[in-house]
Each structure stands twice: as C-alpha cells, then as structure tokens.
Amino acid sequence: KKKKISGNTIAENKKLVDISWFIGCMKEKKLMDIQPSQLLKRKVDADDGPSTKKSRYSGDEAEEHALFRGDANAEARALAFRRGSATLKAHPKEIVCEEDLKNLPYIGLTNSAKAGHCKMVAMEILSEGFSDEVEDVLNGSFYKSMKLFTGIFGIGPQTARKWYHDLGMRTLEDVKGKNISLTYEQSLGMEHYDDLNTPIKLEEAECIIKMVEKACNEVCDELTMTLVGGFRRGKSQGHDLDLLISHPEDGKEKGKLVLIIEKLKEHFIYTGRKMDVSNNLNKGNFASSTMDNFEKCFSIFKFNKSWLNSNLEGKAEWKAVRLDLIVVPSHQFAYALLGWTGTKHFEREIRRYARTEMKIVLTSHGMHSLDTKQNFPAETEEEIFQKLQLEYRAPSERCC
C-alpha cells in the first residue's frame, strides 16, 4: 500500500513565509536563531504550495478533510492543520529530524492533541517521505467525492456531505442521474464543471482585466480597477479573478456596478450580485464575519479563446471563468485591498493577531479599537501594518 513520494514536502515548502510563524516567533521568544525581521525580508516563491511534480501533498489536504467531515470541532481541527502546515511552509531552514520540529509553533512547541497530530504526520513524512494517514485520506472515497462535489459552483461542504452520506452519491454521474433538484447556480456549476475547475492563467486574466477596465472607463473615466486575490500575490494561475473597483471621490462609486455589468453583458453567463448591506464602521456588524458588506458581483464570465489565439478568430470557442467584482468606497480602499489580497489564512491570522495582541478589530472595511471604539483611517496597506506594529509584507510574501 505504501507509495514513495519523490520529494520532501516540508523541505520544498520552506521558502514560503507565513504570518502565523511570525506571530509564533513574536510570542515564543525561544526561537532566537531566526529573527522575525529576517523572515520578513525573505524573498518567497509566489506560487502557493510546492510544485505538484515534486511533491505529493500541497499542505491543504488535512485541513480540507477536517472541514469536509464537518463534525463537532471540525473547524478547530482544520485550523490546527492549516496552522501546522503554514508553519512548516514558513520555515526558512530545511527540517530534517524530529529535533527541528521541537520549537515550531502549532507543532512541537504547543502541547495539545492537535499539535501532536501535526507533529506525528510531519515525522512520518520525514522518515518515510509520505504519510499513511494522509494517503488514506486522499485515497478514501469520502475525500474524493467531497472534492468532486465541492468543486461544483454553488455547492458547499454541507450539501456535499448530505449527498455523500444521506443520498449515497459518489460521482458527478450520480449527481446527474439522481434527479436531485439543483439551484440555478448549481446547475450552471454542473454545466460548466470542467471549465470552472480549470485554473485561469495569468494571460487569460490579463485579457479579462483589459475588458473590465475598458467597461469601467466607458462608465466613468475616473473609476479605478485593482487586481486582488492570488494574482496580486504573484500567482501565475487561480481559481477565479478578483477585481476591486473604486472611485477617488467617496460615494461616486455607487451605482456603477450595474452599469459596468450592463456594458459587459454579452460576456456574462451569470451575474450573482450582492448589494452592500452597510458600510458604516460604527455598526460593527461585520466585525466577527470574514465576509464583508461591499456591493459585489460573483459572476461567471465567458472567456473567448480567440482573444489569446488569433487562429481561432471567428470560431465560437470559449470557456467559463469565475470573475468577482467588488465595489469599494475610497476611504475603505486600503482595508479592502489588504482583505482581498489574501491568502485566507493570512487574513485570518492578521485579524486574530490584531484582536488578541492589539485589541483592534480589523476587517476589509476598516479598523477600530476594541477599548475606545475609535476608527483608524488608512490610505495605504503600509499604514495598516504600521498601526498594527507589524513590518510591512508585500503581497507576494503573504503566501500561506
């Protein structure tokens, strides 16, 4: 049953820098051989995770599996695995033996069952080059089906679990065959399954960016458009394209999204719009949620392949891609930029750090003191890092 992997996951991940490591360093002064400032200056590989050619695991599997299971404590367990793998990704030195794991936050340093579990898996990979437990998860029918089902646009772990456990479904054929009722979004997800599960390439993203930019200019030449998400971190491909739209004058961004969508309407397969609920910082209703209240459009865009390949001119060959447009008022732009650049784990950790270490609530809308309720305006991401007493990290250094 045992299969060898060709590389060492931990060693290959060592170039990536993670904020949980930074926080771990700050809290656990025992890690004297590596200074946080050294880590913050390191050049990193902008692609999340190690190359799949070299390594069997991406570091996401254990977290994913815990979330898929969805039982009591699932989120805490998923987070523990994410923190453990992020710490390993962040480590600037090659980890070769158990001793090297000893002082790592969320692995060897923390004395908890979850940290112990991370350590056990890491040790197994160190000695065998792979982990039986991870292999069992990856090869198991539950993980495989959950991966398939949650790959459908509009399907989350809860529905996927129901399909697996209650309806006994295992494959996409089962989804088609069982005659279950799907929402409009989910049926689009099924229809365009292969396209939506094919990564968007940077060159494709660039074409779409130009088109959205043109539409924005036609609506109002002062509108700005900013690339966020994985592409801003320097990734060469992503599962979607995330764009912030703003106007230098607060309030003038309002009502523009519908006009931009109208300009591009022939290119959209689907435009799921969400109106902004509240931009009022004082209400604090977004404080505990990762989701923000910006007006946005989670769309499916028709990418015409002839835009990149002139040989296809005239042929109706296109693929469906996920495009998110988020409209942001100028005074919240720096916060939205930070919040939408990711990674998800980086956002979670910097917010946790702000709250627990600085008593500051940080969201994509702004930042306020838990004690005084005072808001902190910021023009740039650098100012936000400064306010949090963190050294600035470029987007490419927020990979974890």
Give residues in contact with Mg ion (CB under 5 A): 229-230, 238, 240, 242
Token reading at 316 = 């109706």
Nearest residue by C-beta to Mg ion?
229
* Interface region with ligand DCT, contact rule CB under 6 A, candidates 107-115, 152-160, 237-245, 274-282: 237-245
Closest CB 226 distance from Mg ion, rounded Å: 13
Closest approach of ligand DCT to the CB of residue 398, in Å: 9
355 binds ligand DCT (CB under 6 A): no
**Range in contact with ligand DCT (rule: CB under 6 A) among 118-126, 202-210, 229-237, 384-392:** 229-237
Assess contact for 361 and 370: CB atoms under 8 A. yes
**Residues 287-316, mask of contacts with ligand DCT (x by CB under 6 A):** ---x--------------------------
Nearest to 116 by CA among 77, 66, 89: 77
The alpha-helical segments, DSSP class H, found in the chain are 9-12, 19-27, 36-41, 61-69, 74-90, 98-101, 113-128, 132-139, 141-150, 157-165, 172-177, 184-191, 193-196, 202-219, 229-232, 256-263, 333-341, 344-358, 381-387
Rounded to the nearest whole angstrom, what is the least distance from the CB of residue 378 to Mg ion in the complex? 23
At 243, phi and psi to the nearest 5? Answer: -130, 135
Instruction: Give the C-alpha separation, 353 to 360, whole Å.
Output: 9
Q: How many chain residues are in contact with ligand DCT, going by CB under 6 A? A: 14
Alpha helix (H) residue ranges in 151-288:
157-165, 172-177, 184-191, 193-196, 202-219, 229-232, 256-263
**How is residue 94 written in tokens?**
């090659």
Cα dihedral sign for 44, 322, 82, 3? negative
Q: How far is the CB of 30 from ligand DCT (least distance, A)?
A: 30
Taking residue 229's Cβ as centre, other Cβ atoms within 10 Å add up to 22
Residue with Cβ nearer ligand DCT (105 or 238): 238
Q: According to CB under 6 A, which residues from 315 to 354 bind ligand DCT?
A: 339-340, 342-344, 347
- Within 49-68, which residues bind ligand DCT (CB under 6 A)? none
The reply on whether position 366 binds ligand DCT by CB under 6 A is no
Residue 167 or 291: the one with the smaller Cβ distance to ligand DCT is 291
- Please work out, in degrees rounded to the nearest 5, the angle formed at the alpha carbon of residue 123 by the alpha carbons of 118 and 129: 115
Asked if 235 interacts with ligand DCT (CB under 6 A), we say yes
- 240 touches ligand DCT by CB under 6 A: yes
Nearer to ligand DCT, 235 or 256 (CB): 235
Residue 396 is which amino acid? S
Binding site for ligand DCT (CB under 6 A): 229-230, 235, 238-240, 242, 290, 339-340, 342-344, 347
